[in-house]
Structure formats: structure tokens, C-alpha cells
Amino acid sequence: MCGIVGYVGDKQALEVVLDGLRRLEYRGYDSAGVSVLDGSGLQVERKAGKLANLEELVSGRAMPGTLGIGHTRWATHGPPTDANAHPHVDCAGAVAVVHNGTIENYEVLVAGLEQRGHQRRSETDTEVVAHLLEERYADGPTQGDLPASLRSICKDLEGSFVLVVSHRDEPDLVVAARRNLPLVIGLGDGENFVGSDVTAFIAHTREARAVEQDQVVEVRRAGVTVTDLEGTVVDGDSYHVDWDTDAAEKGGYEFFMLKEIEEQPAAVRETLGGRLDADGLLHLDELAMSDEDVRGIEQVFIVACGSAYHSGLIGKYAIERWCRLPVQVEMASEFRYRDPVVGRNTLVIAVSQSGETADTLEAVRHARSQRAWVLAVTNTVGSTISRESDAALYTRGGPEVAVASTKAVMTQITAMYLVGLYLAQLRGTRDPDEVRAHMADLSTIPDLLTELLGRMEPVRELARSLKDEERVLFLGRHVGYPMALEGALKLKELAYVSAEGFPAGEIKHGPIALIEQGTPVVVIAPRHALQAKLINNVQEVRARGARTIVITTDGDASVLPYADDVISIPDTKSLLTPLLTIVPLQVLSAEIARARGLDVDQPRNLAKSVTVE
Ligand code: F6R
């Protein structure tokens, strides 16, 4: 969580930093702050609430200077107040620090600092770093050396952190350090950047370099030096970011989420692109396993959180069906604590849009410690999960800014099908013609999505009629069940409506008691082998007073007598239906949130990249 930017160059730093923070605001948005170094010292401004509050505070205020750092916060230690907003400074106001993460031993460090006469002005763990820097820069072996001071402090810190620091006596230096959380360097011409991700500087440069574990970066106008904690310079490769800058802008949409929903046909096309050879066989060289190792896989685990977990559930249906391999899908936050039976012949697939989710990362580390082969399925090139896994399959969804995941989930599901088909092809559980046929079906999805997105107005109208509901249930069977979970999660997080998803066959074992006269129940019932059973479930809930909202397939009249509202999707193979049924669920929740006057992109209490456990 938290977004961080650091800049040194020849532009006005305030503008560069605020622009970066705007793009990073999805990472946390309960307070924000900036610090700019001018001839007379550090100017620091901080404000509780969204970035707009900070922008209002600094608008029209002179904050000249070409070196700056900034932060947008998701509170961990101390509530989101002005005083707890970053940057934090030392007693003399000479050092400014922004921080993402948690310093677990901060209480011990605070006690020592207070004994030595430092005055704390916030309740945060971050502030200790400013005071420690004050001491180490003033005195001792690291005196007058800001990078060395930070390196020495990092050795004393426990926990996870990205720290970005500037000092009033260092007009050409921003220093940053990283442990467990993401930090990327932006390499410009006469200017350089650090940021939580590449969107922080993508408007200025597309050359990036990832910072590795326990490294410290010295960012100057003329160049960047990376060292380990002992001060030894470490080389590293830069990479080119080919994301379209427009993709990180709203482009006329009221919310990013609405734009990202519309981008899904193109996103799926990207995920599928270039995967077939001239013979129509699937290539997924990213898996980086030998054919022999693929044939040796005995079980698969899929680990993920939230919506990515729902994508993983679809992966289970696909891999089990096509590969006849046992697949377990685990919430990453639970995986490593229950000592799962994972070994050399286990493939672990970690699904994560950001590639930074702390729970998923820890699951990856645990799986690797058990000698499993770990494949990351992620949207973010250079992310920690991709780097710590044995191999990475990129979903190529482009930047997703809205906190609620849409095109990322869509591309994750698509990637799950690709992995399933590829394993089936290599293991010989599906013959090449069948793989080709499934790929041909998948390749029709982008056009079907475009068509479906073109007829969402009735869904929006339906959503507006649901705006005052406080409880909605979602039912599905087979691959419709994970989509019921996804529909419920989206509604909860965006509209703050109490929503639950169930396997439709389960409701008679308890949840049916929730149904009262008029309770909306969304049933995901496209044309499918189990549709007859779903129709029974629709009748059961309707008989108890539910308002039934049924997602069905174009031209399918079987469910109409039992549906109060119908949402129709184009026909496709039953296993692929999640790629279509998910769309009206996204639109429904976004529109209910909008009708309730909520911020669709930045729901309360959330952040996009969940880098705390
Ligand atoms: C819900 C949502 C979250 C994420 C989850 C995992 O709309 O976006 O549930 O899916 O936090 O995030 P990643 O995929 O970045 O690991």
C-alpha cells in the first residue's frame, strides 16, 4: 500500500511529484504529502484525505525547487490525520522521509530516540527513520553521507519498507531503500525518478530498472547508483515500459473502472496474442519448464487473493477438465499457515495483478522453500512476485488504476485457460485438434465482449433500480460459482452492500433463510449442462419472495418464466462463459455504486496493492 515518488531533475518538482501521486493514488488515498527542496531548505506540505485536498492546499503556493518527494498513504500506524501524513521530518526539519510498509521494531527505536531527546510529532512508525537519519548524518562513521546513513539504518529496521529520503544539504540527491515492497527507478535524461511503480514516472520516461531486496538507490540528476547494504555497487538491467500513457488516463470516462471495463476486449486480445505457432499449437514458453517436468507434475496449487482467487477457481475447472490433474485453489493468506503438502512435483500458480500482494508473495516464498515450481501469473513486469517465482506469465492487461479489478481479472481468467490448454497439450491429455478448437473458441471472446459491452444500458438501468438494496445474493453452479463470488465481492467493495455468493445447490443448506420478500438474487445461468438444476434453484428462491435477476444466454427462453429481470449474454462454450458473465456483474456493481453517489475508483478503506499481511 501507499504510493511513493521521488524526483531530481530540472523541472519543477512539485508538478512532477503531484502528477506521479495522481497516478499512484490507487495505492492508498487517506492522506498525502510532498516535500520540495529549494534554496532555503525543505518545504513540506501534508493533508489528510484524498490527494485533491493536498492539491488544494498547495495550489497557488510557491514551492519552487527541482528536487522533491511525495506520498499517498494507506494508514497502518496512526489514523489518517495531517500529522500522520508523510513526509515526516527530523527535529531540525533537515531530513524528509516517505515510507511504504511497516517498521515492526519501531517501538524499541522510538524509546531509544526519546531517551536521546528527540521529539516525536506523529503516531507513525515512519518518523523514527527521520530521527535516526538526523543522528547518523550528524555524527559517527556515516557523518555527512546520506546514502551511508540510510544503509546503516536499514540494517537496524525490521519489517517491510520502501523509504525515500531527501536532505536540505543535498541539493542533487534523493536516496531510497527497499525491503519486501516494490520500488522502481525511472531513468531519464538529466533527471531521474523513483516510484512505487512505473506509472509514477511514465509521463517522463519509459526506461525503468527494478530495485532488488535490501538495495539502496542514490538518485542524482546525472545518474543513478544502486548499492547493497554494505555500499557495494550492484549492476542491473533496465527495461523499456511499453504501456500506453493514455491507458493510465481516464480518457473522458467518469471513472477509471468504467474505462477499464470497456478495455476488456483489447486486453483479452493482448493476453491471447502470439501464442499459437504456424501449426496452431500453443506456445507458453514463459512457463520455463522442460516437457519432462511438465509431464512429471502430480498436482497443482493456485494461490491468490480476492478477485485473483476467483480467477484461480476458474483455473481449477479448466486444468482439471483438460489435464486431469488435481488442482487446489487456496487463498494465499491461508496457504502457508496450514503446512500444505507441496513438493517437487507440484506446480504452484500465483495469480496477482500487481505482483506485489504480500500474502501471495509469502505463499510463493513458502512454495519455493518446499521445492515446488512456481509460476507467477501477473500483470506487472518486474514485480516482486514475478521476480521471486521460477517463471512468469504476463497477462498483458495494461495498467489498471481503479481499485476494483476488472480487466485484470478478465485477463487472469484468460491466462488460466491458456495454462490449462498448454499443460494438456504437453501432457497429451488433449489432442492438438482439440487444443486448436479451444483456442479458436477463445479467440472469438474479444468480439463477443465488444458486442456485449454495447448492450449494457439495460443493466445500468436495472442497477439504478437496485440502488437502495442493502442485501443481494449471487448464485451460480460450476464455473458460475466463482463468478457469483466475484459479483458479490464487487458489490461489497464498490457499493458497500452486504452481498454473498453461493453455489446454487448450497442455498437450501442454510443461506435460503436470508431470503425475504423482494431480496434481489442474481443467478448466473447461461446455457449450460447444469442449467436445468439452476432453474430449479431460481424457482426455489422465487417461491420464497426473491426478486430473481437471471444472467442467461441469447435466445434461451427456458429461464424466462422464472426471472423478474433478465440479462442476456452471447453464446460461447460453457467453460468459457465466465469471460462473458463477469461483464454484467462488473457493470451492475459499478452502476449501483455510482447511483449511491460513491467513488467508484477509490472505495473506502481499500487500496489497490495490498502489501501488508
Ligand atoms: C477486488 C480486487 C482485489 C484484488 C486482490 C489481489 O476487485 O481488486 O480483491 O484482486 O487484492 O490483488 P492482486 O491481484 O494485485 O494480487
Per-residue pLDDT at 379 exceeds 70 = yes
**Is the Cβ–Cβ distance between 177 and 148 less than 8 Å?**
no
pLDDT of residue 449: 97
Closest CA to 405 of 302, 256, 301, 303: 256
Same-domain check for residues 88 and 157? yes
pLDDT band at 166 (very low <50, low <70, confident <90, very high): very high
Alpha carbons within 13 A on the beta-carbon side of 198: 28
CATH number at residue 149: 3.60.20.10
**DSSP state, residue 120:** P
**pLDDT score of 10 more than 70:** yes
Question: If pLDDT is split at 50, 70 and 90, which confidence band does 248 have?
Answer: low
pLDDT of residue 531: 81
Residue 609's pLDDT band, with cuts at 50, 70 and 90, is confident
The rounded mean pLDDT for the chain is 93
Q: Could you tell me if 204 and 16 are in contact, meaning their C-beta atoms sit under 8 angstroms apart? A: yes
CA 309 / ligand 1 centre spacing (Å)? 8
pLDDT in tens, 278-291: 777 898 888 889 99
The whole-number pLDDT of residue 434 equals 95
393 and 359 inside one domain: yes
Residue 284 phi, psi (nearest 5): -135, 60
pLDDT for residue 167 is more than 90? yes
Domain count, the chain: 3
Render pLDDT for 538-581 as a digit per residue (tens, 0 to 9): 999 999 999 999 999 999 999 899 999 999 999 999 999 999 99
H/E stretch holding 165 reads: strand 159-167
Q: For residue 436, which phi and psi values (nearest 5 degrees)?
A: -60, -40
305 classed as catalytic: no
Q: For residue 307, which atom of ligand 1 is closest to its CA?
A: 10
Centre of ligand 1 from the C-alpha of residue 35, in Å: 31
In a domain, 64, yes or no: yes
Amino acid 245: pLDDT:
65
**pLDDT band per the 50, 70, 90 thresholds, residue 247:** low
Q: Which of 260, 307, 403 gets mutated to test ligand 1 (max ligand atoms within 8 A of its CB)?
A: 307
- Give the residue whose CA is nearest to atom 11 of ligand 1: 306
The number of residues making up the chain comes to 613
Buried-state track 309-318, b at ≥16 Cβ within 10 A, e below 16: bbbbbbbbbb
What confidence category does residue 352 fall into, taking pLDDT thresholds of 50, 70 and 90? very high
Instruction: Say if residues 584 and 567 touch (Cβ distance below 8 Å).
Output: yes
Does residue 246 surpass a pLDDT of 70? no
Average pLDDT for residues 481-498, to the nearest whole number? 98
Annotation says 91 is catalytic: no
Is the CB of 425 within 6 Å of ligand 1?
no
Q: Look at residue 96 and tell me whether its pLDDT is greater than 90.
A: yes
Q: Same domain, yes or no, for 207 and 337? A: no
My answer on whether 388 and 474 are in the same domain is no
- Residue with CA nearest ligand 1 atom 5: 306
For residue 611, being part of any structural domain is answered with: no
Query: What confidence score (pLDDT) does residue 611 get?
Result: 72
At 478 the pLDDT is 95
Strand order across the 207-210 sheet: 41-48, 31-38, 67-73, 3-8, 192-195, 184-187, 207-210, 239-240
Q: Which of 143, 516, 210 is nearest to 381 (CA)?
A: 210
Determine if ligand 1 sits within 6 Å of the CB of residue 177. Answer: no
How far apart, in whole angstroms, are the C-alpha atoms of residue 455 and residue 179? 47
Instruction: Give the CATH number of the domain where residue 529 resides.
Output: 3.40.50.10490
Q: Is residue 605 assigned to a domain? A: no
pLDDT band at 244; cut points 50, 70, 90: low
Q: Based on the fold, state whether residues 354 and 484 are members of the same structural domain.
A: no
Tell whether 431 and 459 lie within a shared domain.
no
Distance 27 CA to ligand 1 centre (A): 12
- Residue that wins the pLDDT comparison between 180 and 542: 542
Residues 226 and 293 in one domain: no
Least confident interval from 23-32, 179-188, 589-598: 23-32
Q: Is the CB of 357 under 6 A from ligand 1?
A: yes
Q: Of 193, 194, 234, 190, which is closest to residue 215 (Cα–Cα)?
A: 234
Predicted pLDDT of residue 29: 81
Same domain, 336 and 359: yes
| Ligand 1 lined by 308 (C-beta under 6 Å) | yes
In a domain, 431, yes or no: yes
Percentage with pLDDT > 90 across the chain? 80
- Distance CA(195)–CA(352), nearest Å, equals 20
**Judgement on whether residues 393 and 462 belong to the same structural domain of the protein:** no
Taking only the tens place, the pLDDT of each residue in 201-224 is 999 999 999 999 999 999 999 999
Q: Do 244 and 317 have their domain in common?
A: no
Domain that holds residue 576: 454-595
In a domain, 539, yes or no: yes
For residue 409, give the ligand 1 atom closest to its CA.
Answer: 10
Q: Are residues 306 and 356 in the same domain?
A: yes
Has residue 613 been placed in a domain?
no
Q: Could you tell me if the CB of 610 is within 6 A of ligand 1?
A: yes
Q: Among residues 394, 414, 443, which one ends one of the domains? A: 443
Q: Which of 259, 316, 490, 608 is catalytic?
A: 608
Domain co-membership, 219 together with 187 = yes
What separation in Å is there between the alpha carbon of 184 and the centre of ligand 1?
Answer: 21
Assigned domain for 481 exists: yes
The per-residue pLDDT for 468 is 97
Most informative mutation of 181, 335, 353 for ligand 1 (most atoms within 8 A of CB): 353
pTM, full prediction: 0.82
**Is residue 324 included in any domain, yes or no?**
yes
Distance in Å, CA 258 to ligand 1 centroid: 17
Q: How far, in Å, is the centroid of ligand 1 from the Cα of 433?
A: 35
Sign of CA dihedral 503, 506, 508, 514: negative
